[in-house]
Amino acid sequence: MAKEASFDIVSEVDLQEVDNAVNQTKKELVSRFDFKGTSWKIDLERAPEKRIYLQAADGMKLRGLKQLLHEKLSVRGVAVQALDYQAEEPAESSSIRQIAKIQQGIPHEEAKKIVKLIKDIKMKVQATIQGETVRVKGKSRDDLQEIIKLLKNNSFKIPLQFTNFQS
């Protein structure tokens, strides 16, 4: 009897790399001409909620701050889709603040979309939601590799990684 192979679909972010990107952003902002003489702030909160606080003098500076952060995250291999930006809100001294929540794990709605996509292609595999991960099982490793290829070619709101491949 053939042994069943499996892998897990996860969405994880390396918080140390996020911290490094935030620190690099701070260092660059100190020397940037367009930010000299203006107030800005960027901080990473690791616990209890994982999020980044962004604050700038106006909307244009806030967009520049986010763009620089995105560049630093991309260089460090952190997917920008992992950031869930909340609404901009006024802060002290007529500045603008925005919070970016860092998405860890697959939300239930996204997990249901992944499972539905896998079931719709009618391959001989099973996909089940296990907390914040999705486990895919099948007898053929080739089928599992096709599933990974399919998921990589689809766009989801969150970055996906494929781990724990067992055969």
Q: What is the C-alpha to C-alpha distance for residues 96 and 81, in angstroms, rounded to an integer?
A: 22
CATH number for 128: 3.30.70.860
- Taking each helix axis from N to C end, the angle separating 108-120 and 141-153, rounded to the nearest 10 degrees, works out to 120
What's 4's DSSP letter?
Answer: P
For the segment 14-72, what is each residue's pLDDT rounded down to a tens digit? 999 999 999 999 999 998 888 888 889 999 998 888 999 999 988 899 999 999 999 99
- pLDDT number for residue 135: 93
Q: What is the C-alpha to C-alpha distance for residues 128 and 152, in angstroms, rounded to an integer?
A: 18
What's 98's DSSP letter?
Answer: E
Residue 167 has pLDDT above 60, yes or no: yes
Average pLDDT over every residue of 119-140: 90
- pLDDT number for residue 1: 43
Q: What is the C-alpha to C-alpha distance for residues 100 and 62, in angstroms, rounded to an integer?
A: 12
The tally of domains found in the chain comes to 2
User: Of 102, 122, 157, which residue is a domain's last?
Assistant: 102
Claim to verify: residue 65 and residue 87 sit in the same structural domain: yes
Claim to verify: residue 90 and residue 149 sit in the same structural domain: no
| Domain that includes residue 90, residue range | 15-102
Claim to verify: residue 77 and residue 39 sit in the same structural domain: yes
Claim to verify: residue 72 and residue 128 sit in the same structural domain: no
Say what the alpha-carbon torsion angle 100, 106, 107, 110 is, to the nearest 10 degrees: 110
Claim to verify: residue 127 and residue 96 sit in the same structural domain: no
